Amino acid sequence: MVGTLAGRGGRGRRGTTRDANQMPTTPPIGRLAPALAVLMAWTTLGGCGAGREVTPAAIREARGTWLKTGVRDYDLEWTSAGPRNAHYRVFVRDGAVRMIYSVLPDGREFEAKPAEPKFYGVDGLFLVIEDDLAQLKQPRPFGQAKGASTVMRFDPDPTYGYPRSFRRDVSGSPTGLAIDVVRFDPKPPAEIPPPADRADAPASAAARPHSS
């Protein structure tokens, strides 16, 4: 959840009309290639076009819902797929990230100590989405080729506002990202549980949840 998450497709050409009889029977594949690449990446990352387009207004609305809830203590579990695949359990108390467990494929966990733990809670997921949106202002966002397309969507929780999923898909580039929140507990126990079956892994193995 990455996901997960607002699309930039679906814009038609303004001020142009074409008679149905003039439409070619075979579409120009060359011109459709960027859109087809985005569609293939979206399918690979489990997009399906759900959620909302990532815009400054949509982010403000979702974050406003989140802030109005006043939730300061919560447990969050989320996964990411893309250049790096990851699975985290995050424990937030009094609005601050107190503990992060990295979950291995076999279910074992170890404490992760990233340089910027703020990126792992709900506020951090909003920061990730905002960072990605800001990338679109660059000459070559995400290193994509000229003329390539970027699709970004996210799915805010209707009650709490946190991003349940986020999707970033870039045509012709392996820099797609999917973030999915798999568990959110707004009423966690006061005590943070120990990691499950502590794995023998380095404590600094966590990377930031997004990769440009």
Higher pLDDT, 77 or 196: 77
- Model confidence pLDDT, tens digit, residues 41-71: 334 444 445 789 999 999 999 999 999 999 9
Structure tokens at 117: 């733990």
Please state, in angstroms and rounded to a whole number, the distance separating the CA atoms of residues 106 and 135. 35
Global confidence as pTM: 0.71
- Model confidence pLDDT, tens digit, residues 89-124: 999 999 999 999 999 999 999 999 999 999 999 999
Phi/psi at 70 (5° precision): 70, 20
Structure tokens at 75: 């447990």
pLDDT tier at 188 (50, 70, 90 boundaries)? very high
Cα 135 versus chain centre, distance: 14
